[in-house]
Structure 1
């Protein structure tokens, strides 16, 4: 007996040693894969490791539930021992594993063990209280548990595979409900041996192999490399899909089949086993880094974490008590066969509805494939990561089918019309994207009034094939309606109900951009991001139908109080008088042969002003010197890390984005292309030029610049050819030196009296440390959390140092020009790389960029009475008026108003306590910040002036255009 016991213990120790060896090997492989992710064999090992971990995370709670033996040893001592081992291994992991990063490529440990620690923690408790929990489960009969768990699992499988929805509070496999569900499955498998014995070994093996192949395939696909450009090649996004997913149904089915097979084989040869203990030991070793993850992250509130833990434990105890009470008082029975028959009957009666939904779903998936250029990984990404977005698109078009059904009570006719419409819609969307890089949006509906012109733009063969396809679909639907149409009819009450619900669903999108509406919050929950600045990007991410719906709820601007023709006439007279008064001290009746250059310097801002961060040396010494001898100061940006076109719009038009509706976050894309007439400062000049050394697809710039009246637009998408395109070392962007040379080249060309708008690209994100041979400037203190973020900041600083050198060279060249030239130079926003600073505390500082207005030697000689401001905090909407003052040019009534606003109203912006919201609707509101950087309220006089400003902005953009005429906008006030 003693030798038998010794031999058994030796086998257990041997098994444990083998397990430890495997885990150590896999752990070592994971470390090697950090550096060899692109190789084939590490990728395969990485996939095997993730699949192994996923299986263990699922299997351990099932094994604990399946362990029905009343053991003699003390479970408390076992769990205490496991915890001691866990603490030792986790402590070892603290000093051997990489820290968790926040970049697009997290450390392998984060991928592998993201759900292991919570499993280890919960399973320890499950093992400790296994017998009371099993007694609780056994209050219901085995057959009852079988019916409920199979039905529950079937619904879970169906929901997860179709929509990816996180059902039943499982929280992607990390909630107590999920672990309780797995424990109950294991307990049922161990109890229901009679049912399991009916299955043959061949059946077990076949189902297990099929399930394992499916789960392995899905895990493999989730390892695929996803590479796309959120901002049209501005910021590449490269990552791997989630490779560990214990929430995956096929992996769960594999674990259940393997457990059932093991239990049946064990019952043939009864023997003691340590499945639960071995499983928790595996979790100890797999979950190495996770217990110390909070220590790697700053600002951890341990008291709050402890309190939350106590609350969760108390809630769990309360749930157990409630279940125990219900188990004593209520007998739950489920007629599984009747339920199955009922579901079968529903499918038989309504199979046409299900078929139509499936067809629309496949068409929608196909549309995403076309939008992503046939990239399999991106279509797969939409399926696995954004299935709710696909579902919303299908529901939008399906609602149209239901409305038609409510009208005609003919399902196949309704389905045929809807499918034809949907295919036509997608065809039109593809054609528009090919022509204008933009999907169909609500403002395009006006083109339906000119069908002949629209059809004239389409290839005749496309029209012919479309008509042939329509005839075929109509013929099929007619035959189906004739032979099986009677099987799907609704009574009048049902028809009215589905019509009302479908119309309500479609109408709800009219509140999609109201930040307090239920619709907005639900769309946010499914990760709907409209990307108003790039409608094509929005269509790729959200689908053509949802992107169309995102643009329905767009309101330009609320009507200011008192707006009327009489009010605007009186306002025009008042500012004509003010303009005449201003013009008494101005020399030039027009801009004449003077040149004006607006330079938007991408992401430029002095890093030494970032709160709590120190920069070694002075990377922008020339700018600091230049600002001392010119009109200069700080500009209050409306964005952080984005929103370039909004600053450009405000600078050119003199209008403030803070006055627009929150549903209009990007005027360039949402407003300007659809205005009948616009007015910008370049309209005062004989000739105007736009320069942007990059793609012009973003923000609809090609359309916008044409609408603004630019004569030339130099860019990389079929526009006028850019001459200077040199880059700095390995940086992917055209250098600022080249951009300034392009400006100088165009200034020297005839005619003179030009306006030039330059939007640079050199300092656009990302900021890879490999861009420049050496970063000469280093940072310390706040502003970053990781070494990678520090390196990005230092690369950015090196870039703006090169800008400083190019700026010095360019200003010297401008002073040699004989043409009077004034330059308005400003940074549009800070780069979004200062992750260590809370926006709520440092919002103003993180929205302040640098600007200056410089007159070259010829302009200084010409404009003796020029007006300059020193060290002012201004908004980009003030630049036009400030430039005319420095050029000593007389103003129209419109610029008289803008001059008064620049002089008397503090810098105006969207709220600065949050990040840029140019991707979606924002909360709205206006911040007024004085020269000391303090938020202030307007005085009664300032409120009246600002109300006049709002009246004019409303009239020019959304109103009746009473002032949209040269006498107010261009002609000098007398």
Structure 2
């Protein structure tokens, strides 16, 4: 029936492509249905589909490059028409290389075709212009191209496998450079068939199977669903790892082996042309679902389309011109075999070095498994999505091994000691996490000064087992050194160089939090986030070694000019006199039986103040009414969308975040636990209580509240048990109404004259539309870009409406109390849900929250209805002094200074042109904002007063504590 075996082969190959095309088309066409239905394809089918699509996306550019018979443009009109349609669709769909989301969580199905459309678009162009491109490639000999491409590919694969870096600008498999590279590989394979025939079919078969298994395994790992809760169910994160990533090395290797295997027997025929034609048609079908993306993405302006088209044309032309120039002017030669021999020589003599690196890598991966409690999806996430973080941890240990090697010139001994130290480090980290829910950080090094006390907390059998293990490991290292160590020696010059480089690498972490340093920028590039507010989470995300290194570069505060015992004694005398003047107009010598309540209302800020956004109604009428009747105004927050504990710290201590070093973004975690003594407003009262209806592990609150001298702390992690924990509808947070009832209950208890610190939770992110039975408020205008963001804002507004109702009831309850009670109530920061508003333009408005200071009926009667500041912009560090003024309480020298700061210095904050940086170091700097919301500079008198403030803050936190005594902090000035 068939004229030749060749026709049979081509028909079989074509039939195979048709079958695979039908399968792939049915799978990708089902995407739109999965948006409407809950059911999805079984896991195994998605795995097979994603592996097939990934391989196809990689293979088609190679096949086009391998087609050497395109001078006469077959199917030119058809492909050109497809290209025009593709160009229009591509620009219309904006950037279709990004995954499309239509719900709160990403769609795993749409990841399947993430790169298909852009591959189809570019490969259509390659097919049209393959002949001139191949002419450019053929300016170099086949042998030269072989050496360069093999060497280039080896380096790419090695870099990607070891660290996951985006080498050579390939940009995850979507850049033009990547496609040119694949095209060049195909062209070389088609012209080097005699070299390809050196391997037998059996060898090709086994290489293909092994490579395909690894590629499928990686694709399977990358498509898994990762779900973890970084804040103890506060903000659950869900990730669908990429299952269509042609940047994966084993996928590339699979495609190259399969193409080489097919081409080695096709010399003299046109089978390779069939590959490229069928590949283009296959990509057309794979790309069909992307035709629907304009329905799911925001519309793109014609200006953007024109600019995009011009940019692509210019870049493509420039690359072609550059390649043509280099091909004519430069003689590219690479002694590939000589390089290979050098690699073999290095491996033969220094394989113990490579073995040590692999051992350290394995121990590091095992440490992540321990930190994540063996959760497979989280381990694979670290392995596939955060390999750079793993590499940094390994390099820290490897640098220690190199330093020991430079000293001893005995690699087995050096590596053995390093492995022992690393395992001991991990064991100590696990023990500390079990005891204190925190990994080892630099401040723990001081415990080494008391080894007996530390070892006394460890089981004796563990100590004995550790000593035996260390002895065995040292003996094994010494024996290996005698047997295999002679060939692994470094000359003196090499030892000096590796010691210098290793020490420089480790020493560079001293600048890890300096925003202008190279190490800081590199750590940012690999997504290192220290999470200072939760050191355990930082260890889980970054590894124990890197998290330790993140905490090395922590500097509390720069020493102000003039700091000395004499200067501080002068300041104490001066503010003793200032306090005496203030106290002439105050009645009470102490707080006595008065109560003071600080209420940090989570993420509370009037949404009506958001620039350009309109609300259908007033969700907080009671707050607006209350603010007209008492001390009130706006608070200048130091954060946006985060940094709660920082506002709490400033309110309690009266110290400003703006005065601290940028390397100290979270005092609760980085400073307070290590201070010998602290001073806060609650120290003036007979009894103090902390209330936080959530976990107390975040921000180290358990330790902090104990250090601050709180007598009780009500929370969900043991300790004192909360009485009121009701929630609103489907919201996962304890309601503000319950939180206020908890405060009232404790106010009624003895003794009186107490301080209560409440941090609410009701309005904390996220803001799911399903939280409340009905959202009665709707927004329009600016502040959101998508329907999802709009829904989040409306849910948030409904939440603060419930807060307003609860506040009204609570104030009524307070007025019925016989105990004089004053309340400082403030929002800590705006929620991070207002998108599309540039922080550089609206920074001040996006950092202004509401506050008021209210005295109940008993307190108003006792203090003669005293009010302080009305409708002013203040900082959280001003609240304690303002509260004492409203309570008519005389002040100590310390609060005399704070009263002067509150009255005479504009509101102080970190720069408001950025967002909260409590996860990592920030740029630093100080903003001063007046009552009109304008940034101002201090006058000469204000500068002197603020310098006094900085001197006192430095002395109490980082200095010699000359003023850390009751005569300055607590005793009234006379």
TM-score normalised per structure 2: 0.94
Separation in 2 of the partners of 1:38 and 1:637? Answer: 45
* Higher mean C-alpha displacement, 334-343 vs 454-463: 334-343
Separation in 2 of the partners of 1:103 and 1:704? Answer: 39
SS in 2 for 1:913: coil
1:22-81 CA-partner distances (Å, limit 9, x unpaired): 554223222233355675x34444334433332222122111101101443477645422
Residues 1:486 and 2:486 aligned together: yes
Residues 1:132 and 2:132 aligned together: yes
TM-fit CA distance, 1:288: 4.9
1:410-442 CA-partner distances (Å, limit 9, x unpaired): 222212221111111111111111111111111
Gaps in structure 1 of 5+ consecutive residues: none
Residues 1:660 and 2:686 aligned together: no
TM-fit CA distance, 1:296: 7.0
Does the 8 A contact of 2:89 with 2:291 survive in 1?
A: no
SS in 2 for 1:238: strand
Separation in 1 of the partners of 2:603 and 2:374? Answer: 34
* Higher mean C-alpha displacement, 19-28 vs 544-553: 19-28
- Superposed counterparts of 1:307-318, under 5 Å: 310=310, 313-318=313-318
Residues 1:713 and 2:722 aligned together: no
- Superposed counterparts of 1:30-49, under 5 Å: 30-35=31-36, 39=40, 41-49=41-49
TM-fit CA distance, 1:965: 0.9
TM-fit CA distance, 1:452: 0.7
Q: Counterpart in 1 of 2:146?
A: 146
TM-fit CA distance, 1:303: 5.1
Separation in 2 of the partners of 1:16 and 1:686? Answer: 82
* Higher mean C-alpha displacement, 322-331 vs 604-613: 322-331
Does the 8 A contact of 1:29 with 1:42 survive in 2?
A: no
1:912 to 1:294, Cα distance in 2 relative to 1, 3 A:
farther
SS in 2 for 1:703: helix
1:17 to 1:281, Cα distance in 2 relative to 1, 3 A:
same
Does the 8 A contact of 1:64 with 1:126 survive in 2?
A: yes
Does the 8 A contact of 1:109 with 1:289 survive in 2?
A: no
1:356 to 1:74, Cα distance in 2 relative to 1, 3 A:
closer
Q: Counterpart in 1 of 2:882?
A: 882
1:412 to 1:341, Cα distance in 2 relative to 1, 3 A:
same
Q: Counterpart in 2 of 1:405?
A: 405
Q: Counterpart in 1 of 2:677?
A: 677
TM-fit CA distance, 1:338: 3.3
Separation in 2 of the partners of 1:802 and 1:85? Answer: 52
TM-fit CA distance, 1:856: 0.8
Separation in 2 of the partners of 1:29 and 1:295? Answer: 16
Q: Counterpart in 1 of 2:734?
A: 734
TM-score normalised per structure 1: 0.94
Does the 8 A contact of 2:68 with 2:273 survive in 1?
A: no
Q: Counterpart in 2 of 1:175?
A: 175
1:265 to 1:89, Cα distance in 2 relative to 1, 3 A:
farther
1:18 to 1:507, Cα distance in 2 relative to 1, 3 A:
closer
Does the 8 A contact of 1:89 with 1:284 survive in 2?
A: no
TM-fit CA distance, 1:908: 0.9
Q: Counterpart in 2 of 1:536?
A: 536
Q: Counterpart in 1 of 2:906?
A: 906
SS in 2 for 1:111: helix
Residues 1:26 and 2:21 aligned together: no
Does the 8 A contact of 1:29 with 1:45 survive in 2?
A: no
1:607-634 CA-partner distances (Å, limit 9, x unpaired): 1111111122222121112111111111
Q: Counterpart in 1 of 2:550?
A: 550
1:646 to 1:561, Cα distance in 2 relative to 1, 3 A:
same
Does the 8 A contact of 2:99 with 2:111 survive in 1?
A: no
Q: Counterpart in 2 of 1:930?
A: 930
- Superposed counterparts of 1:96-175, under 5 Å: 100-101=100-101, 105-107=105-107, 110-175=110-175
SS in 1 for 2:572: helix
1:684-703 CA-partner distances (Å, limit 9, x unpaired): 00111111111111111111
1:573-605 CA-partner distances (Å, limit 9, x unpaired): 121111111111111000001100001111111
TM-fit CA distance, 1:359: 1.1
1:197-219 CA-partner distances (Å, limit 9, x unpaired): 44444443333333222212211
1:830 to 1:923, Cα distance in 2 relative to 1, 3 A:
same
Separation in 2 of the partners of 1:294 and 1:408? Answer: 64
1:286 to 1:90, Cα distance in 2 relative to 1, 3 A:
farther
Q: Counterpart in 1 of 2:942?
A: 942
Separation in 2 of the partners of 1:475 and 1:11? Answer: 63
1:591 to 1:522, Cα distance in 2 relative to 1, 3 A:
same
TM-fit CA distance, 1:513: 0.7
Separation in 2 of the partners of 1:110 and 1:935? Answer: 47
Question: Aligned pair count?
Answer: 969
Q: Counterpart in 2 of 1:377?
A: 377
Separation in 2 of the partners of 1:309 and 1:854? Answer: 61
Residues 1:527 and 2:527 aligned together: yes
- Superposed counterparts of 1:363-512, under 5 Å: 363-512=363-512
Separation in 2 of the partners of 1:468 and 1:455? Answer: 16
Separation in 2 of the partners of 1:650 and 1:585? Answer: 26
Does the 8 A contact of 2:768 with 2:795 survive in 1?
A: yes
Q: Counterpart in 2 of 1:613?
A: 613
SS in 1 for 2:688: strand
Q: Counterpart in 2 of 1:649?
A: 649
Separation in 1 of the partners of 2:923 and 2:93? Answer: 44
Residues 1:190 and 2:190 aligned together: yes
Q: Counterpart in 2 of 1:842?
A: 842
- Superposed counterparts of 1:250-329, under 5 Å: 250-264=250-264, 266-267=266-267, 270=270, 273-288=273-288, 306=306, 310=310, 313-329=313-329
The CA RMSD over aligned residues, in Å, is 2.9
1:741 to 1:193, Cα distance in 2 relative to 1, 3 A:
same
Separation in 2 of the partners of 1:291 and 1:909? Answer: 49
* Higher mean C-alpha displacement, 693-702 vs 721-730: 721-730
Separation in 1 of the partners of 2:329 and 2:890? Answer: 89
SS in 1 for 2:232: coil
Does the 8 A contact of 1:90 with 1:289 survive in 2?
A: no
Does the 8 A contact of 2:601 with 2:826 survive in 1?
A: yes
Separation in 2 of the partners of 1:233 and 1:832? Answer: 18
Does the 8 A contact of 1:840 with 1:914 survive in 2?
A: yes
Q: Counterpart in 2 of 1:698?
A: 698
